[in-house]
Structure 1
Amino acid sequence: MNGKTDPGRAFAHHDHAHCAGDTLARAEAEAARRGLRFTPVRKRVLQILLEAHRAMGAYEVLDRLSAEGFGNQPPVAYRALEFLVEAGLAHRVQGLNAFAACMHPGETHAPVFLICRDCDAVAEAQAAPVRAALDQVAGALGFAIERASFEAVGLCPACRARAEGRA
């Protein structure tokens, strides 16, 4: 797919190590291109989000950091997560009060987050048609959208199969 991450990968069987490694490499390249300081704790937080392939709360990230010797104070996790979101390397998933790694670092995109209500897996998919429709409606009212977030909650294929008794 032209080096881009398949939006449904979070819900499909795939080479997760390759997926996470490729996305991390693109995030590091983007940070370097923009002259951002990608400290060891920031990098580790992004790795933790990539390893999970789901939205994670700040305290869950902090628990992992603490277990690995990066510190156990909430600002450690919050500062790293804030940096990653501001740099476009992670997204805040409002509906879960959590964070997910951006699967398209360095690319201009309008993501929609497909969130599994059972396992918290999050797939980042393109929402360009949704954003275009929203821009059109807003424009008709003279409103200029600066930022928008799209989230949909449902069941991923695995949880749906379990719910239907097929797993």
Structure 2
Amino acid sequence: MNRRDDPAPVLAFEDHDHTHCTGDILTRAEKISAERGARLTPVRRRTLEILLESHRAMGAYEVLERLAGDGFGNQPPVAYRALEFLVEQGLVHRIRRLNAFAACMTPGEAHSPAFFICKSCDTVAEAPAGAVRNAMERAAAEIGFVVERMNIEALGLCPACSGDAS
């Protein structure tokens, strides 16, 4: 369940204006890229658009298939390079459990997300998880471990698939 005071609502599991959601993220992506002196080339932009079409993670080959259909070429480096750029810029997250990628719902903001993955419909929701990250870092510090990278992913059923849609 989404806490209403969280800074980033879990849009994937809520009714929302998806066109506005997508447009807002694309606008922020262009601004972030420009501020960093990075180019959001047509293939990079289209890759982000593909990931934004639905709130689910997609594998690189699925993205490549869509890019090829749009005339961007059908060689794996086309998709991998675009995805790598988008991840480096913080515009896309890698969902390790699925070996897939999902558009970031809060690009340009420092955040520690958790990913809730529906095992039935493959929807992926991004939610704030700063408290979980802080707890993990405290636990690591107690044993002298330094966290360099952390992915918080949970597998289960979304409200619609669990029959709990309100």
TM-score, normalised via structure 2 length: 0.92
Percent same amino acid among aligned pairs?
62
Decide whether the 8 Å contact of 1:5 with 1:19 is kept in 2. no
SS at match of 1:52: coil
Query: In the TM superposition, what is the alpha-carbon distance from 1:52 to its structure 2 partner?
Result: 2.0
C-alpha distance in 2 between matches for 1:31 and 1:104: 14
Query: Amino acid of the residue matched to residue 144 of structure 2?
Result: G
Q: 2:47 aligns with which of 35, 41, 45?
A: 45
Q: CA RMSD for the aligned pairs? A: 1.7
C-alpha distance in 2 between matches for 1:14 and 1:94: 27
Runs of 4+ in 1 over 4 A off after TM superposition: none
Size of the alignment, in residue pairs?
Answer: 161
Q: Which residue of 1 aligns with 2:11?
A: 9
Q: Which residue of 1 aligns with 2:156?
A: 154
Q: 2:89 aligns with which of 74, 87, 90?
A: 87
Q: Which residue of 2 aligns with 1:69?
A: 71
C-alpha distance in 1 between matches for 2:73 and 2:20: 28
Q: Which residue of 2 aligns with 1:20?
A: 22
Query: Amino acid of the residue matched to residue 85 of structure 1?
Result: V
SS at match of 1:112: strand
5+ long unaligned stretches in structure 2: none
Q: 1:141 aligns with which of 143, 159, 162?
A: 143
Query: What are the within-5 Å matches in structure 2 for residues 59-138 of structure 1?
Result: 59-138=61-140
Decide whether the 8 Å contact of 2:48 with 2:86 is kept in 1. yes
Query: Amino acid of the residue matched to residue 107 of structure 1?
Result: E
C-alpha distance in 2 between matches for 1:34 and 1:143: 32
SS at match of 2:93: strand
Deviations 1:65-96 (A, max 9, x none): 11111111111001101111111110100001
C-alpha distance in 2 between matches for 1:108 and 1:144: 19
Query: In the TM superposition, what is the alpha-carbon distance from 1:158 to its structure 2 partner?
Result: 1.0
C-alpha distance in 1 between matches for 2:160 and 2:75: 35
TM-score, normalised via structure 1 length: 0.91
C-alpha distance in 1 between matches for 2:125 and 2:140: 26
C-alpha distance in 2 between matches for 1:140 and 1:49: 39
Query: Amino acid of the residue matched to residue 145 of structure 1?
Result: V
Decide whether the 8 Å contact of 2:8 with 2:128 is kept in 1. no
C-alpha distance in 2 between matches for 1:141 and 1:71: 49
Query: In the TM superposition, what is the alpha-carbon distance from 1:5 to its structure 2 partner?
Result: 4.6
C-alpha distance in 2 between matches for 1:11 and 1:149: 20
Decide whether the 8 Å contact of 2:119 with 2:155 is kept in 1. yes
